[in-house]
Structure 1
Amino acid sequence: MAEPTMIYKITILELLQRSGFPLSNSQITDFFLEGDLTDYFTAQQAISDDEDAGLIVSTTNHNNTTYSITEEGKKTLELFKEKITPALSKDINKYLKANSITMKEENSYKATYFKADRGGYVVQLRITENDVPTMDLSFHVASKEQAETLCNNWKVKSDDVYMSIMDILMT
């Protein structure tokens, strides 16, 4: 059983390395589930093990956690790259080719909030494209509920907000 678990851990490293951008927990898990490679719980354990070993690092913004490969992860991947079979390599390429645009878009909308020093909450909303900020907004709101509402609505309404601001400022 140790061998398949190691392959899952190495596969996560390869997936992150080839993607070229951070992937969410669900994006990594979807690769394993769509390919019928393992079950949800085993995939979660492999992600957790990679993170505990310092091979990947997580970044959390509001309700979204993304993972990136670390330098230690890159070194480990080089040592165990032969564990990625040609068939598995082909599956990774196929998954990234089919999903990379959608995955990149999903991860380009960031929303987070934190408690302000003088009361209320500061909400930070961001759209990035190729790791370059396209729009960066900060708001001070009175309650945690308002902060959560802004963050939850950001992914759905950010394009409309962007276009509205551009229209207003360009006229």
Structure 2
Amino acid sequence: MDSDTHRSGTTLRVNGKPHTLVLDNRRVLLDVLRDDLDLTGAKKGCDHGQCGACTVLVDGRRVNSCLQLAVALDGCEVTTVEGLAGDGEELHPLQQAFLERDAFQCGYCTPGQICSAVAALAEAAAGHPSHVTDPAAPSGRPVPLDADEIRERLSGNLCRCGAYPRIVEAVEDVIR
């Protein structure tokens, strides 16, 4: 079998910049980000979609990049932790809050935690309920984020160091 039969031309917009790549159809987004684009914020933790260290945003929605085939994202906007702050030196409010609250210890999971928190805030603002959202809450209205909501919405991101209380506090700081 010809090696070109497993390759596709793919254009990804990563952190606002287009990248046209010829990729093996079996490569995952995480490996493309880290190996081809030198964006090493997203980490390879479990490589099974269970820890969330590889979380990035695709068209504003969080995904485990270790499970997402890169060629399936042709034309999509991918945002990594490196792209959250934009072009300036000023950090994204969540990045700043994580620093101010010391919401990390080793820092390995932090990029995934921050990307997940960005998406969680957007989901709540759009009225998407979580498992702990009050069933009596009006449908389609923004969901108020308390500590329980934040913990539930970030439950797919694991921290081996146990920095969860500070992570919740950092997210609370941003929504106040």
What is the TM-score when the length of structure 2 is the normalising length?
0.30
The structure showing larger relative contact order (alpha-carbon pairs under 8 Å, at least 6 residues apart) is 2
What is the TM-score when the length of structure 1 is the normalising length?
0.31
More strand by share: 1
